[in-house]
Chains A and B, each alone.
Chain A
Amino acid sequence: MSSVSTAPAPRKRRGGARGGEAVAGWLFTLPAILIIGVFLIAPIALALWVSFTDWNGRNSPLFNDSVDVVGLENYAAITTDDSLTRELFGRSIRNTVYFVLFVVPLQTALALFLAVQVNRRLLKGKGFFRTAFYFPSVTSSIAITGVFLFLFAATGVVNRVLGALSVDGPNWFADPRGIFHILFRSTAAPPGLDSPGFLGVTPWEWMAGPSVAMVVIITMVIFTTSGTFMLLFLAGLQNIGAEVGEAAVMDGAGPIRTFFSVTLPMLRPTLFTVLTLGLIGTWQVFDQIYLTRGTPAAPTLSSPAYLAFNQAFENNEPGIAAAIAFVLFLIIIAMTLIQRLVLGERDESGMGKRRKGRDRKAPLLADGAVRLEAGPQSTTGGGLT
Chain B
Amino acid sequence: MRHSTLGSVALAGTLALALASCSGGGSTGSSGEPEAPAEALTMLIGSSGEAETAAVQAAADAWSADSGTTVEVIAASDLNQELAQGFAGDSAPDVFYMGWDQFQTYAGDDYLEPYAGDLANAGDFYPALVDTFTFDGEFVCAPKDFSTLGLVINTQLWEAAGLTDADVPTTWEELQTVAQTLTTGDTVGLSMGAEYARVGVFMEQAGGGLMDGDTVTASSPENVEALEYVQGLLEAGSLKWPADLGAGWGGEAFGNGAAAMVIEGPWIRGALEADFPDVEFLVAELPEGPAGPGTFSFSNCWGIPQGQETAATAQELVAFLTSDEQQLEFADAFGVIPSTQAAAATYAETYPENAAFVAGAEYAVGPVSFSGAADVVTEFNNTITTLQGADPQAALDELQTQLEAAYESSQG
Contact = CB atoms under 8 A, between A and B. Distances in A.
Given A57-B87, A316-B106, A155 B246 contact: yes
5 contacts: A176-B385, A296-B382, A312-B84, A313-B80, A316-B106
Contacts of A83: 405
A56 B386 CA distance: 35
A35 B16 contact: yes
B244 A154 contact: yes
A20 interface: no
Interface in A306-364: 312-316, 318
B111 A31 contact: no
Given A34-B20, A176-B385, A314-B374, 17 more contacts: A31-B9, A34-B16, A57-B84, A58-B88, A59-B87, A59-B88, A60-B90, A84-B375, A84-B402, A84-B405, A154-B246, A155-B246, A174-B243, A176-B382, A315-B372, A316-B106, A316-B371
A32 interface: yes
B15 interface: yes
Nearest to A60: B90
Contacts of B245: 154
B105 A315 contact: yes
A59 B90 contact: yes
Interface in B292-326: none
Interface in A278-302: 295-296, 298-299
Contact of B109 (A35, A58, A155): A58
Secondary structure at chain B's binding surface: helix, strand, loop or mixed?
A: helix
A96 to B, nearest CB: 18
Given A84-B406, A316-B105, A296 B241 contact: yes
Contacts of A59: 87-88, 90
A95 to B, nearest CB: 13
Interface in B249-266: none
A143 to B, nearest CB: 16
A35 B12 CA distance: 8
Given A154-B245, A154-B246, A316-B106, A35 B15 contact: yes
B45 interface: no
Interface string B3-25: 00000010011011001100100
B376 interface: yes
Interface in B76-122: 78, 80-81, 84, 87-88, 90, 102, 105-106, 109-111
B9 A28 contact: yes
A378 B65 CA distance: 59
B194 interface: yes
Contacts of A58: 87-88, 109-111
Question: How many A residues are at the interface, by size bracket?
Answer: 35 or more
A171 interface: yes
A158 interface: no
A262 interface: no
The 3 A-B residue pairs whose C-beta atoms are closest, nearest first, are A154-B246, A155-B246, A31-B13
A299 B243 CA distance: 15
A312 B20 CA distance: 26
A216 interface: no
A88 B88 CA distance: 25
| Interface hub of B110, B111, B371, B385 (most chain A Cβ within 10 A) | B385
B376 A31 contact: no
Interface in A156-207: 156, 171, 173-174, 176
Contact of A56 (B109, B246, B375, B406): B109
